[in-house]
A and B are shown apart, each in its own frame.
Chain A
Amino acid sequence: MTVINTPRPPATRSRIGRVLTYVLVIALALAIAVPVAWVLLASLKEKSEFFGSPWTLPEGLRLQNYVDAFTDAHMGQYFATSVFVTVLGLVLVLAVSVPAAYVIARYEFKGKGFVELLLLGGLFVNVNYIVVPIFLMLVDWDKALVDVFPGGFFLDNPSVLSLVYAATSIPFTIYLLTAYFRSIPVAYEEAASIDGASRFRIMTRIMLPMARPAITTVILFNFLAYWNDFIISLTLLPGEGKTVQVGLLNLFTAQKAAADYGRLYAGMVIVIVPVLIVYAFIQKRLIEGMASGGVKG
């Protein structure tokens, strides 16, 4: 659209192109910013303010919606569950993936090619396809253990949800970490081993600190995936305990039926704000990581 074919003096031509470009880009930025800002504003509105034009500003800083969302709609409790599940998932995935990636990057062993190929294949298996068999498998395990845990153990268990998150992000995590470990020169490890450091010590004291950028990238992507997921947690936590996303979905259905939106928007803000804060801090690294890893969840 900056294309203007009729010959013009270069200065005018580029000026018109520039103005058009600005208008277009700003329009797009507004199309993204306005709805998000609108949610923030609407979360401060009273019930009566939702009728009539949606463009009116809230009458004051009214925080009652947040109190209602946190307590009546249990969003506070769901928030705590989400934080727990996300943090535990991150700890688990790093605990198993970092050593595995290090071994794959640095050691030769039988069947290594097969293991790598299998993990690479795992990159293409989205959890959405396999959530049904995972659910059925957990149901089976619960049945098998019914004498020990009559109430069931594997379903409705936030720790198991974390484990599933961690397990399903192993291919991506190992893929990214292995590539990074391989880019670190072997000379550092050789030097350390001449100084008498054990293999374990080399991994924790030398490789880990050097791989910090890759580990940060992995944490960011997995944080977003775990925090934003709702299909897996909807399936694996069918009971009272929920994550914020499923809680928000319920709130969404309930408030729409009752035409009472304040609480819903407050709930949305509760879900959005942590992500936006993290994003604002790490956007540079996130975008760099995306460019190098190029993996979409």
Chain B
Amino acid sequence: MLACLLPALVLFAVFMVYPTVNVFRMSLYTWSGFSPDMKFVGLDNFRHLVDDDQFVRAFQNTVTLLVVVTVVTMGMGLFLAAIMTRQKLRSRNFLRFVLYIPNVLSVVVIAAVFSAIYDQNNGLLNSMLRLVSLDSWQQVWLGDQKVVLYSVGIAMVWQSLGYYMVLYMSSMSSIPEELYEASGLDGASASRQFFSLTMPLIWQNLRTSLTFFIMSAVNLSFVLVRAMTGGGPDSSSEVLLSYMYKQAYTNSSYGYGMAIGVVIFAFSFLVSLLMSRATKREPLQF
């Protein structure tokens, strides 16, 4: 019977465990990839990272996106989920269907959609601003160093809002209706009910979603940046994984690239751990 386990374990070991171990191992070497000379340099790669302005920038960008996208998506997702479950909207199922669509689209498609939205001259966004006479708000959305990161962030929110809304809806819908009726009779407003009833009761679900946010912000920002901006202009939208990719393939510094990979691993792991510690509460029952 154990033979049934073998193929899965072999595949898993060869294509996941071994490469993961290799990320750590290679981060201690300098190596241009295809040449045979691979030199052990210990922690040198990590030491260089601190002085690497581009890396620092990529790190800051990742953190900014992580914070902004998490706060916005979580806030909007919670709010939407609350109205979708509390108020019996007539077209609820249809709305849920539409809002979830971006989650099934590929990142390349999203990148292409957003470049149509952001296009400087013929884009949907700028032409809409012209239409409502807010001409001064027009931007070169993907070409301006100050704006580009937030343009990417908006695409990330657009992509994942429906997912988190559905996630929160599923835990909110299991809260018994009597609790709302009782607190309504006691005179609690809708907002009071939301903060004193809904939020504490779905707290565990919120905590889990924080881990999803960290993992998906790191990954999604990378694929979006790769397809939308290539990290530009002038590396103002570079994120950690895209910088790692660049070092590995474009610059052929595989060891250095993998050191960045190790930092991302450690960073996401630590942040998840801290978040989970900070948000720990006694689970509430209903």
Q: What CA separation (Å) do A294 and B202 show in the bound complex? A: 14
Are A42 and B116 in contact, CB atoms less than 8 angstroms apart?
Answer: yes
Q: What CA separation (Å) do A276 and B98 show in the bound complex? A: 11
Residue of A nearest to B248 (CB): A132
Apart from the given pairs A1-B79, A129-B20, A171-B16, 20 other A-B contacts in the complex at a CB distance below 8 Å = A21-B89, A29-B95, A32-B162, A39-B112, A100-B8, A104-B5, A122-B17, A124-B269, A125-B20, A128-B219, A129-B241, A132-B248, A136-B254, A164-B15, A167-B12, A230-B227, A231-B222, A248-B112, A278-B104, A279-B104
Q: What CA separation (Å) do A224 and B163 show in the bound complex? A: 14
| Interface mask (B3-19 → A, CB under 8 Å = 1, otherwise 0) | 01101110110111111
Q: Is the interface of B mostly helix, strand, loop or mixed?
A: helix
From residue A94, how far is it (CB to closest CB) to chain B in Å?
Answer: 11
Across chains A and B, which 6 residue pairs bring their CB atoms closest together, nearest first? A99-B4, A167-B15, A291-B170, A228-B106, A133-B19, A100-B8
What residues of chain B lie closer than 8 Å to A278, measured between beta carbons? 104
Are A224 and B104 in contact, CB atoms less than 8 angstroms apart?
Answer: yes
Docked complex: A262-292 residues within 8 A CB-CB of B: 264, 268, 271-272, 275-276, 278-280, 283, 287, 290-291
The residue that A132 contacts in the complex, of B84, B114, B254, with Cβ under 8 A, is B254
What residues of chain B lie closer than 8 Å to A280, measured between beta carbons? 97
User: What residues make up the interface of B, taking CB atoms closer than 8 Å to A?
Assistant: 1-2, 4-5, 7-9, 11-12, 14-20, 22-23, 26, 33-34, 79-80, 83-84, 87, 89, 95-102, 104-109, 111-117, 119, 122-124, 127, 158, 161-163, 166-167, 170-171, 189-191, 208, 212, 215-216, 218-219, 222-223, 226-227, 241, 244-245, 248-249, 254, 257-258, 261, 264-265, 269
Are A102 and B33 in contact, CB atoms less than 8 angstroms apart?
Answer: no
Q: What CA separation (Å) do A184 and B139 show in the bound complex? A: 57
In the assembled complex, 23 residue pairs joining A and B whose CB atoms fall closer than 8 Å, in A order, are A34-B124, A39-B113, A54-B124, A100-B7, A115-B5, A124-B215, A124-B269, A125-B20, A128-B241, A130-B16, A132-B23, A132-B257, A132-B258, A133-B23, A133-B258, A134-B15, A167-B16, A174-B8, A229-B106, A256-B115, A268-B109, A271-B108, A283-B100
Are A275 and B89 in contact, CB atoms less than 8 angstroms apart?
Answer: no
What residues of chain B lie closer than 8 Å to A134, measured between beta carbons? 15, 19
Are A245 and B108 in contact, CB atoms less than 8 angstroms apart?
Answer: yes
What residues of chain B lie closer than 8 Å to A170, measured between beta carbons? 8, 11-12, 16
Q: What CA separation (Å) do A64 and B33 show in the bound complex? A: 44
Residue A137, interface by CB 8 Å: yes
A interface residues, tally (CB under 8 Å):
88
Q: What CA separation (Å) do A126 and B220 show in the bound complex? A: 11
From residue B279, how far is it (CB to closest CB) to chain A in Å?
Answer: 17
Q: What CA separation (Å) do A54 and B130 show in the bound complex? A: 12
What residues of chain B lie closer than 8 Å to A137, measured between beta carbons? 18-19, 22
What residues of chain A lie closer than 8 Å to B222, measured between beta carbons? 128, 231
Are B1 and A107 in contact, CB atoms less than 8 angstroms apart?
Answer: yes
Asked whether A166 and B254 contact (CB < 8 A) given A21-B87, A107-B1, A268-B112, the answer is no
From residue A48, how far is it (CB to closest CB) to chain B in Å?
Answer: 13
Q: What CA separation (Å) do A256 and B11 show in the bound complex? A: 40
Residue A249, interface by CB 8 Å: yes
Are A294 and B113 in contact, CB atoms less than 8 angstroms apart?
Answer: no
Are B163 and A290 in contact, CB atoms less than 8 angstroms apart?
Answer: yes
Docked complex: A87-130 residues within 8 A CB-CB of B: 95-97, 99-100, 102-104, 107, 109, 115, 118-119, 122, 124-126, 128-130
Are A32 and B189 in contact, CB atoms less than 8 angstroms apart?
Answer: no
What residues of chain A lie closer than 8 Å to B215, measured between beta carbons? 124, 126, 296
Residue of A nearest to B262 (CB): A129
Residue A227, interface by CB 8 Å: yes
Q: What CA separation (Å) do A31 and B159 show in the bound complex? A: 11
The residue that B101 contacts in the complex, of A25, A36, A115, with Cβ under 8 A, is A36
From residue A282, how far is it (CB to closest CB) to chain B in Å?
Answer: 10
Interface centre among B23, B105, B109, B216 (most CB of A within 10 A): B109
Are A17 and B190 in contact, CB atoms less than 8 angstroms apart?
Answer: yes
Asked whether A2 and B98 contact (CB < 8 A) given A50-B122, A97-B8, the answer is no
Interface centre among A51, A99, A104, A256 (most CB of B within 10 A): A99
What residues of chain A lie closer than 8 Å to B2, measured between beta carbons? 103, 107, 109
Are A227 and B15 in contact, CB atoms less than 8 angstroms apart?
Answer: no
Residue of B nearest to A20 (CB): B83
What residues of chain A lie closer than 8 Å to B122, measured between beta carbons? 50-54
Are B212 and A296 in contact, CB atoms less than 8 angstroms apart?
Answer: yes
From residue A212, how far is it (CB to closest CB) to chain B in Å?
Answer: 19
Docked complex: A12-41 residues within 8 A CB-CB of B: 17-18, 21-22, 25, 28-29, 31-36, 38-39
Are A230 and B20 in contact, CB atoms less than 8 angstroms apart?
Answer: no
Asked whether A54 and B127 contact (CB < 8 A) given A33-B98, A129-B20, A276-B101, the answer is yes
Residue of B nearest to A143 (CB): B34
Interface centre among A97, A129, A168 (most CB of B within 10 A): A129
Residue A180, interface by CB 8 Å: no
Are B106 and A245 in contact, CB atoms less than 8 angstroms apart?
Answer: yes
Residue A62, interface by CB 8 Å: no
Q: What CA separation (Å) do A166 and B2 show in the bound complex? A: 20
Are B127 and A53 in contact, CB atoms less than 8 angstroms apart?
Answer: yes
What residues of chain B lie closer than 8 Å to A103, measured between beta carbons? 1-2, 4-5
Are B19 and A25 in contact, CB atoms less than 8 angstroms apart?
Answer: no
Q: What CA separation (Å) do A17 and B219 show in the bound complex? A: 37
